[in-house]
Amino acid sequence: MTYSDAVEAAPEARPDRPRAKRGGKRERLAAAAARVLHEQGMEKTTIADIARAADVPLGNVYYYFKTKDQLVEAAIDAHAQTLAGMISALDELPTPQDRLKALLAGWVEQRELTARYGCPTGSLASELDKRDDGLDQTLATVMRVLLDWAEQQFLALGRTADARELAVALIASYQGISLLTNTFRDPELMAAEGRRLERWIDSLA
């Protein structure tokens, strides 16, 4: 299995691909909430928007979620499940270098979507930071999973002294280039940064 195969297998790798309507209404609503919140932002998104995206009658939504905040929580959980699936696919690759490059490839695959809407988790984190309901920390827990995983890859590369710093640098580079890609609406910025980060990983290995 190549790292390209792992990226293809990871749900997060191709968020622009139409998804089959699988699972129950709750799962569809959670996935739709994550997608619509990314595209429209929290303030503009209504429960009706999410119901329409999930192809669930509006009246049925309240059986599963009483408020929009509960749908936001469900969206965060959907991000967590997507991340878990992506990590599971990446972990099938033989070397930490391959796994880190596969992560980069997945990010670059999203460049058109990132140019339009920004990073899904980063954009949501920015919005949640303005609230005082603790949901920002819930999302931070999800993002920490990726940071911890990246640290483990750098440890496996033999970087025992600075693995955490390198993991932070990698995730920070992605968040920064996501912001620039979105600001300038230029997907090539993400592609160029992906190539630079690949060379950086090679130099560490």
Three-class secondary structure of residue 106 per DSSP:
helix
Return the pLDDT at 175. Answer: 97
Length of the chain: 205
Q: What is the pLDDT of residue 23?
A: 62
* Distance between CA atoms of residues 12 and 5, nearest Å: 13
Nearest-angstrom CA–CA distance, 17 and 11:
9
User: Distance (Å, rounded) from C-alpha 120 to C-alpha 37?
Assistant: 8
For 4-25, write each residue's pLDDT tens digit.
444 444 444 333 333 434 569 9
Distance CA 58, CA 125 (A): 27
- pTM of structure: 0.86
Question: What pLDDT shows up at residue 11?
Answer: 40
Torsion of CA 60, 31, 54, 35, to 10 degrees: 130
The residues, any chain, with a CB within 8 Å of residue 81's CB and separated by 6 or more, are none
**Which residues of the chain carry a pLDDT beneath 50?**
1-21
pLDDT digit string (tens) for 139-165? Answer: 999 999 999 999 999 999 999 999 999
Three-state secondary structure along 1-46?
CCHHHHHHHCHHHCCCCCCCCCCCHHHHHHHHHHHHHHHHCCCCCC
As to burial, measured by CB atoms within 10 angstroms (0-12 exposed, 13-18 middle, 19+ buried), residue 150 is buried
Question: What is the percent of the chain with per-residue pLDDT over 70, rounded to a whole number?
Answer: 89
Q: Evaluate whether 162 touches 72 at the Cβ level (below 8 Å).
A: no
Q: Where are the alpha helices (DSSP H) in the chain?
A: 3-9, 25-40, 47-54, 58-64, 68-90, 96-109, 111-117, 120-128, 135-156, 163-184, 187-204
